[in-house]
Amino acid sequence: MYGSGADRGQLSGEREMVSSTQRLSMELAALAPALIIFDKGGTLIDFHGMWSEWVTELARRLEGVTGFPVTGRLFRVMGFDPDSGRIAPNRRLATTPMKGLRTLMVDLLCEAGMSRQASEGTVETVWYAPDPVGQARPLADLAGLFRGLRDNGLKIAVTTVDDRAPTEATFAALGIASFVEALVCGDDGLPIKPAPDMVWAVCQATGVAPA
């Protein structure tokens, strides 16, 4: 008994999907990569949990010191949605190193009517960095994952817009520092992602050709 044309079309689509998946698996197997480069926030560590707490506390401190209603503006500029607790992946909080976020806050206070000198002093007073150990929530068994990759002959690297000191502290606390053969951070002086410089630096450090 034959099915309808729609049924036959669905079966054909499923076969094509399986075939595509098999081809992709074969291509990946043939690729045999020598190096895997991970991002940190949102890939290895829960990005939203750490940074939503940070920007909320920063806004509270900022309003407490200045008396200016800047919370809404700060959240919009940073790309933080307080209702969902989520951070937009293409906005400042997700793409800017700490030094740049600090400058952004100074500019925000200047726009609110404060002088540049007063704005810099205020940000100096309220500024703090999130706890890179206490607030770091891994998104997987990172030690097990990295050990498995290394046991299969792959090198591991990380590129992140986060600063180096807190990133190294996070990796040490999670027991994965020894697995990471190259680390490039937002305060290393290189153009940040999506510029390719971080990846090039990792490839040079590990001796793996970008191809």
pTM for the whole thing?
Answer: 0.72
End position of a domain, from candidates 81, 108, 126: 126
Nearest to 35 by CA among 180, 142, 188, 184: 180
Same domain, 118 and 68: yes
Q: Is 9 within the bounds of a domain?
A: no
Q: Is 21 within the bounds of a domain?
A: no
Same domain, 115 and 142: no
The pLDDT value given to residue 6: 46
Q: Is 193 within the bounds of a domain?
A: yes
Q: Is 6 within the bounds of a domain?
A: no
Same domain, 147 and 161: yes
Same domain, 118 and 53: yes
Q: What is the pLDDT of residues 146-188, one digit of tens each?
A: 999 998 889 999 999 999 999 999 999 999 999 999 999 999 9
Find the CATH number of the domain harbouring 151: 3.40.50.1000
The pLDDT value given to residue 16: 56
Ramachandran class of 40: left when φ > 0, alpha when ψ lies in -120 to 50, beta otherwise: alpha
Same domain, 117 and 145: no
Same domain, 108 and 173: no
Q: Is 81 within the bounds of a domain?
A: yes
End position of a domain, from candidates 65, 96, 126: 126
Q: Tell me which residues of the chain have a pLDDT lower than 50.
A: 1-9, 11
Q: Is 2 within the bounds of a domain?
A: no
Distance CA 150, CA 144 (A): 10
Q: Is 20 within the bounds of a domain?
A: no
* Full domain range(s) for residue 202: 33-45+136-206
What is the total count of domains within the chain? 2
User: What's the residue count for the chain?
Assistant: 211
Same domain, 181 and 141: yes
Ramachandran class of 141: left when φ > 0, alpha when ψ lies in -120 to 50, beta otherwise: beta
Query: 80: which strand partners?
Result: 87
The pLDDT value given to residue 208: 95
Tokens 């506390």, residue located: 57
The pLDDT value given to residue 3: 45
End position of a domain, from candidates 126, 159, 183: 126
Q: Is 18 within the bounds of a domain?
A: no
